[in-house]
């Protein structure tokens, strides 16, 4: 029996430059297959799909989906002589091939992550950015090797103080169907768990009935040619339900969910292989108006970071108990990601 115990409660968020550390615990019974080596590998992979059309022998065409997997990070550690055993003073290695003898073993490990890595995105299916800690158990040649996988959530560090205009308010306006909307988002740059304020001023000279205005926080990501969007939050502005006044003012708070990844643009080229991951956010206003084909929407880009002037060490948020539930909620939301043919 073998398992990994991490020094930080799981699930958690590791940031670029962090150290993934813990212990490998292994119990080998007397009747177990000989284990020669144990390899610990921390990996980062980007996966995406492309489609192509081929012509079959009968003249018909067929669309084929190709799956691409690009490894962007790998660090391997071979576990062996350093393992401490409760039963074997010699470290549990015998013969020239160095097998583990029956007993209990403990081995600490630590792997430092590179500073520049794209954030974990949709790790369960294509397209994805996925990080894992893997254990490979090497046995005798005639026995099947074993493997254990532990998912890791990795985000790059994004300091909002280094982003131009991230501390400024965002002003926007639009005019559709005789309705003019002006708005202000209190600040362009936010970190998870932070709250900002949305203020709206509406000019409606023709007394058109505004049934409601929905506010959505949208995550958009592009992995090579694959584009997806994910709706993180949605709510209606309470003061704007069935209104037809000529002049309306309203405001509402927007809270950024804890656990979401930061805005990031990653490009990597290794020989003939290149990969591009772009992740960004916008606040989308969906205006529902009485009448056929009268609804319209507008999108306002914002920046999500991990550090700000008010909260310089977002990494401490990984110790907040509610983060476990928030990360699980993000995992469930990612299952609902949809194609985004109009990524902006």
Identify the domain boundary among 90, 124, 155: 155
Identify the domain boundary among 123, 155, 187: 155
Residue 206 lies in a domain: yes
pLDDT at 141: 55
The domain total for the chain is: 2
208-245 confidence digits (pLDDT tens): 999 999 999 999 999 999 999 999 999 999 999 999 99
69-121 confidence digits (pLDDT tens): 999 999 998 876 445 444 433 333 333 345 667 778 888 999 999 999 999 99
Residue written as token pair 């194609």? 339
Give the residue numbers spanning the domain of 76. Answer: 2-155
Computed over every residue of the chain, the mean pLDDT equals 84
Of 7, 13, 8, nearest to 314 by C-alpha is 13
Q: Kind of pairing, strands 19-28 and 103-112?
A: antiparallel
Residue 270: strand, helix, or coil = strand
Q: For 288-316, what is the mean pLDDT?
A: 79
Identify the domain boundary among 155, 172, 198: 155
Same domain, 180 and 151: no
Q: Which residues, 6+ apart, have CB-to-CB distance to 322 below 8 Å?
A: 258
Is pLDDT at 44 greater than 90 in this prediction? yes
Residue 202: strand, helix, or coil = strand
Q: Kind of pairing, strands 189-190 and 296-304?
A: parallel
164-174 confidence digits (pLDDT tens): 888 899 999 99
The residue with greater pLDDT, 1 or 187, is 187
**Strands of the 179-185 sheet, one edge to the other:** 170-176, 179-185, 195-203, 247-255
Same domain, 74 and 151: yes
**DSSP string across 133-193:** EEEEEEE-TTSPPEEEEEEEEEE---BGGGSTTTTS-EEEEEEETTEEEEEEES-SEE-TT
Are the beta carbons of 91 and 84 closer than 8 angstroms? yes
Same domain, 168 and 273: yes
Residue 7 lies in a domain: yes
Same domain, 130 and 198: no
Same domain, 211 and 300: yes
Q: In degrees rounded to 5, what are phi and psi of residue 328?
A: -65, -40
Same domain, 28 and 57: yes
Cα 92 to Cα 71: distance, rounded to the nearest angstrom: 34
Same domain, 171 and 149: no
Same domain, 182 and 253: yes
The tokens describing 5, both together, are 């115990």
Q: Which residues, 6+ apart, have CB-to-CB distance to 208 below 8 Å?
A: 177, 178, 179, 244, 289, 290, 291, 294
CATH number of the domain encompassing residue 231 = 2.60.40.640
Same domain, 26 and 67: yes
Instruction: Report the percentage of the chain scoring pLDDT > 90.
Output: 58
Asked whether the bond before 227 is cis by omega within 30 degrees of 0, the reply is: no
Helix, strand, coil content of the chain in percent (nearest 5): 5, 55, 35
Local structure of residue 313 (DSSP, 8 states): -
Same domain, 129 and 169: no
Residue 344 lies in a domain: no
Residue written as token pair 């009448």? 291
Q: How confident is the model at residue 163 (pLDDT cuts 50, 70, 90)?
A: confident
- Backbone torsion region of residue 334, taken as left when φ is above 0, otherwise alpha when ψ lies between -120 and 50, otherwise beta: alpha
Same domain, 150 and 236: no
Same domain, 130 and 238: no
């Amino acid at each position: 029996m073998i398992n990994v115990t991490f020094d930080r409660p799981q699930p958690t968020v590791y940031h670029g430059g962090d150290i993934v550390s813990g212990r490998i615990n292994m119990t080998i019974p007397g009747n177990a297959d000989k284990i020669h080596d144990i390899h610990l590998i921390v990996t980062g992979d980007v996966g995406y799909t492309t489609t192509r059309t081929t012509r079959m022998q009968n003249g018909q065409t067929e669309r084929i989906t190709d799956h691409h997997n690009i490894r962007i990070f790998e660090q391997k550690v071979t576990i062996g002589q350093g393992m401490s055993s409760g039963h074997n003073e010699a470290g549990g290695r015998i013969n020239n091939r160095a097998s583990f003898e029956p007993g209990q073993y403990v081995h600490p490990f630590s792997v430092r992550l590179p500073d520049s890595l794209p954030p974990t995105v949709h790790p369960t299916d294509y397209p994805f950015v996925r990080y894992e800690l893997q254990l490979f158990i090497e046995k005798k040649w005639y026995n099947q090797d074993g493997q254990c996988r532990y998912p890791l959530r990795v985000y790059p560090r994004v300091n909002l103080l280094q982003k131009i205009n991230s501390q400024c308010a965002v002003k926007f306006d639009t005019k559709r169907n005789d309705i003019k909307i002006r708005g202000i988002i209190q600040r362009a740059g936010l970190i998870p768990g932070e709250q900002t304020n949305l203020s709206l001023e509406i000019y409606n000279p023709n007394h058109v009935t505004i049934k409601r205005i929905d506010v959505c926080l949208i995550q958009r990501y592009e992995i090579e040619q694959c584009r997806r969007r994910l709706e993180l939050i949605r709510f209606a502005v309470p003061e704007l339900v069935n209104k037809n006044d000529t002049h309306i003012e309203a405001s509402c708070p927007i809270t950024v969910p804890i656990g979401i990844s930061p805005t990031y643009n990653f490009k990597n080229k290794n020989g003939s292989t290149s990969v591009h991951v772009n992740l960004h956010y916008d606040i989308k206003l969906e205006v529902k108006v009485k009448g056929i084909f009268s609804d319209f929407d507008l999108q306002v880009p914002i920046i999500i970071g991990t550090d700000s002037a008010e909260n310089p060490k977002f990494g401490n948020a990984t110790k907040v108990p509610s983060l476990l539930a928030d990360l699980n909620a993000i995992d469930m939301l990612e299952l609902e990601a949809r194609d985004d043919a109009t990524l902006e």
